[in-house]
Each structure stands twice: as C-alpha cells, then as structure tokens.
Structure 1
Amino acid sequence: MADPHRGLDAQGYIAREGSLGRVQEPFRPVVAAARDRLLDVFGARLTSAYLYGSVPRGTARPGRSDLDLLLVLRAGPTEADRADAGTLDAALDKEFPQVDGVSTLVYGRERLLSAAETYDMGWFVACLCTPLLGEDLAEYLPRYRPTSRLARETNGDLAARLPRWRERIARATTADERRTLDRIIARGLVRTAFTLVMPRWNGWTGELDEMAEVFAEYYPEWGPRIRAAAAAGYAPTGDAGALRGYTEELGPWLADEYARVHGTKQA
C-alpha cells in the first residue's frame, strides 16, 4: 500500500491535494466572492473554475498567501477574457486583506483535454486543482503516478524559461516588481527541484518547504540553495543577488541535471 503521507492513494496514484472543505475560515469570504463574481463576469462562457495552491490545501497564511484560480472557457480565451480576469484579480486583492495577491489562469476546454497537455496542464487540473464551479475535467483525464515522464512533461522546460526570467528581471524597476519575480522564480525552481527527484521519492507534495527537504535528501550540496528559494517563495524580498543566483547559478545547473535525468520537454 502506498504511503498516504506521500500524497499517493492506495494504488500509488497521485491523490488530488485539496478540497473546499480544507479552506480555512479567513479565506472563505474571498473564495465565495470569487465564485460569485466569476459567474457574473464570464457567465455562459465559463465551463469550469478551480482553486489551487495553499488555500484549498488548507495551509494558507492570512495576509501572506495568494489566491490562485484556474478558469476553463468553452472556447479559447481572448485578450479580453484575460483582461477581465486581471480586473477581477485586482478587485479581490484590494478588497480582501487576508490574501496577498490574486492570480487567475485562463484556458480553453479543448486545450486542457488535448493530448499535448495530458501530462502537463491535464495533470495539473486532475491532481492539483480543486473544483469550484462547473464540470470537473478530471473525469476525462487519466490517473497519474510520480513518473519520469510526468517530471519531464511538467518541468522539463526550465532551460527555455531561464532567458524569459532574465528578461523580466532586467525590466523590473521597482521593489514590488522584484519581489513578484522573486516569488515566481523561487517557486518555479523549488517545484522543478522537487520533480527532479519525485520519481525516486515516489510521492507528491504541494508544500514548498517539504519539496526543498525532499530534494535535499538526494542533492545535499544544493539543499541550502533550494531551502532559501522555498523561503523566498513564501516571503520574497526581491534581493538582486538572489535573483541573479536563480538565473545564473541554480537555474542553469538544475536545467542541465533535469535534462540528464529526465530529458527535455518537447514543445
């Protein structure tokens, strides 16, 4: 039997990590407001809406954690759809101090159920997203084990992400912009580090600090760097030296090691 503490069910498949029942009391009003306003804004265009991240896992920290949403539209999203989502994000973030930012991903239903996304966004929906509204696309997706294929298809594109991160860092001019990048990049690196060793560990966790500790079991020499990135993922400072270290030291090493162990994700 699989170890339930490693995020697997009795058959060894990755168990869905969140539920609405785990949403803590301080975050219930913002989740309720998000649900109602999504229906108002997107109406019949919306086929599904999900929560993901620390809020549905029940580990969010009031005033420090963000609210993450995924919307699924009947047709591919337009720029107007993304703009509507951004406006809603900003309004929720301003109104509810218990969240430190609101971020919404917008996808079309056909893309999420496509063969190309089965082991990337399909897995994300089936295992990391908690249904909030509408149909649950997990019904149309396979079950997933913590395999090398899953590792490659979810995070095997780190080498391609590094140049984009460098460009965004170069364009950042304010402390807030640098803190935002610190959080995004640090989280991306920690999750990639964890999925590098996920098949050997044979489990799943969504918590950054646990991801860092699991990784450090296999790569102790890089453990301090990943632990520091996990801390920045929770409380980013925007330190210029840390950002440079992500893209010029830790990131390139991790991309090379990932390619060696799991291969590179095909576009």
Structure 2
Amino acid sequence: MTTSGDSRGKGLDQDGCFVREGSLERVPAPFAPVVAELAARLATRFAPDRLVSSYLYGSIPRGTAVPGVSDLDALLVLRTDPTGSARTAGGPTEADRAAARAIEAELDAAFPQIDGAGILLVAEERLLSAEERYDMAWFVACLCTPLSGPDVTAALPRYRPTSLLARETNGDLHRRLPGLRERVAAAATQEERIRLTRGVTRNLVRTGFTLVMPRWGGWTSDLVESAEVFGHYYPAHADQMHAAARAARHPAAYPELLDDLLNGLAPWLADEYLAVHGAKTLPSQGP
C-alpha cells in the first residue's frame, strides 16, 4: 500500500485529479451478455425522451467482478417529467421505479453470474444542481461508466480528494445511523438481513476510507484496500474495518457482525467524521 503523497497508483492523474475508474473495455467476458441485455431492456422500458443517459458502476466496469458473487449496478439519468405533479416533477415517477425494478428482477433471474441487480434513478436537474456537486455529481463523473447517451457530467470541474469532498459524500453517517439500526432491528428474514449486511458494511468501509482520503491523497473503490488505508491511520479500529470489508463480500458468513458494527464502529466513525470533516451540508435524500 502506498501511503506517501505520491498520487501514482492512487486513481489520480498527474494533476492530482480523479481518473474515471471504470470502462466498458474492462467488463469481464462472463458479464458482457448481462451488460448488453441491460442496455437492450433499458431501450425497451424507457422512452428516449425520458432516459437521458445510463451508467454502470461497481466491480463489473472496474473489471474485478466475480461470477456468482458480484452484483450488477447501474444508474439512470432521467429528464424532468413535464406531466408530473409537484411531488414527482423533476424526479423519478412510480412508473420509472416500476420499470427499473422489473429490469432488476429479469436480469437477476436470467443471469446466474450476477448475485442481484440494482438500478439507481436520478433526475438530470437534480444531479447537476449545486447541492449535488460534491456528492452524486462526483459519483457519476468519477465512479460511473457511461453505457448509453451523453455523459451529462462532462462539463463539470475536475475533482480532487479534498476534505470538502469527504464531507459532502459521507458526512451524514450520524444522521443515517438511527435509521440503519431501525431497519436492521425490523429485518424479518435472513435474506433481508444479508442484503442489509452487504449494503451497510460497504457503506461503512467507504465512509472509513473517505475519512482518511484527503490524508492518503488518492482514491480506491476496492474494499480491502480501503480498509487497509483506513487501518494505517486508525490502527485501533483496523480489525473492525477489515471485518466489515470481508462481510461486504460474503455477508451470509457474518450473521452477527452487523449489530456489532452498528453499536461499535459506526457511532465512533460518525463522531470522528464530524470532528475531522464536519457534517454534510444537506441530509442525503437518495437517488
């Protein structure tokens, strides 16, 4: 692991700005049919005047996906709905969400090489707003791979691994923690708990990494490397973060870990994040 200020090998270019981490050329061969079918189903389910652009993110466009283990992650940028009510105008409609859920289920059923599919929806107007400049817009610009349509983030300024970026991406754990505990307590099935374990542990590892990202001076989406980088700066909590990284990959193997993390590592991480970077400007609303 590189811990010096040198940005080489840390996901940055020679100017210290983020390099987009994925590409369609890196999609592993077993997942190429999944990506092709996703593009085909998007074209069928979403009208051209509704869907602006689609993106892939996660292990598949990074080229690190493992058949039977990895999931498919996609993000759709939608135009403002001119017929929507005040509640839905500018954001995804129920019809949009239903179409996305149907595609998720169809792909998961058709392709054993993926362990589930997830499609995020966001309105173009919101994505390019000032409030999302260092959160969702950064995510799409740096961590998402264009699949179809124009890259709507092409005109945005370049990003660097700053404290501002750290604050606006993950500086809301203290707000989300009570809700996470409620969702875990309410989980009624093992499948639901496994899904929560995967999602929460991924988020905790990434939050731990972004806590130290400005000091490390780079970016990685690899959960194991993220935990290693975090542990370099916070050795007292390294074992917990490594356990979270393992559970993010194999959540079913750690049935009791989620409760331990939400009552131990997570509250400490939330407090430390506030002390180092401050609170996110606006509460996270989700795509």
TM-score w.r.t. the length of structure 1 is 0.98
Structure 2: which amino acid aligns with 1:57? R
Matched, 1:20 2:24: yes
Matched, 1:189 2:204: yes
Look up the match of 2:224.
209
Structure 2: which amino acid aligns with 1:231? R
Alignment of 1:117-132 (within 5 A): 117-132=132-147
* Superposed displacement of residue 190, structure 1: 0.1
Is the Cα contact below 8 Å between 1:49 and 1:71 reproduced in 2?
Answer: yes
Which residue among 234, 243, 246 is the counterpart of 1:231? 246
Is the Cα contact below 8 Å between 2:7 and 2:217 reproduced in 1?
Answer: no
Aligned residues: percent identity? 59
* Superposed displacement of residue 137, structure 1: 1.4
| Higher normalized helix content (fraction of residues) | 1
1:47 partner SS: strand
Look up the match of 2:237.
222
Look up the match of 2:76.
71
* Superposed displacement of residue 161, structure 1: 1.2
| Distance across 2 between alignment mates of 1:86 and 1:238 | 27
Which residue among 246, 254, 265 is the counterpart of 2:269? 254
Structure 1: which amino acid aligns with 2:193? R
Matched, 1:94 2:99: no
Matched, 1:46 2:51: yes
Which residue among 7, 27, 43 is the counterpart of 1:3? 7
| Distance across 2 between alignment mates of 1:162 and 1:193 | 14
Structure 2: which amino acid aligns with 1:247? L
| Distance across 1 between alignment mates of 2:238 and 2:18 | 25
| Distance across 2 between alignment mates of 1:240 and 1:60 | 23
1:230 partner SS: helix
Number of corresponding residues:
267
2:153 partner SS: helix
Deviations 1:178-231, CA, capped at 9 Å, x for gaps: 110000000000000000000000000011000000000000110010001001
Q: Which runs of 4+ in 1 moved over 4 A?
A: none
| Distance across 2 between alignment mates of 1:2 and 1:248 | 36
* Superposed displacement of residue 140, structure 1: 2.4
| Distance across 2 between alignment mates of 1:143 and 1:38 | 29
Is the Cα contact below 8 Å between 2:194 and 2:255 reproduced in 1?
Answer: no
* Superposed displacement of residue 114, structure 1: 0.3
5+ unaligned residues in a row in structure 2: which ranges?
Answer: 81-90, 283-287
| Distance across 2 between alignment mates of 1:157 and 1:140 | 27
Look up the match of 1:29.
33
Structure 1: which amino acid aligns with 2:252? T
Aligned-residue Cα RMSD (Å) equals 1.2
| Distance across 2 between alignment mates of 1:91 and 1:137 | 27
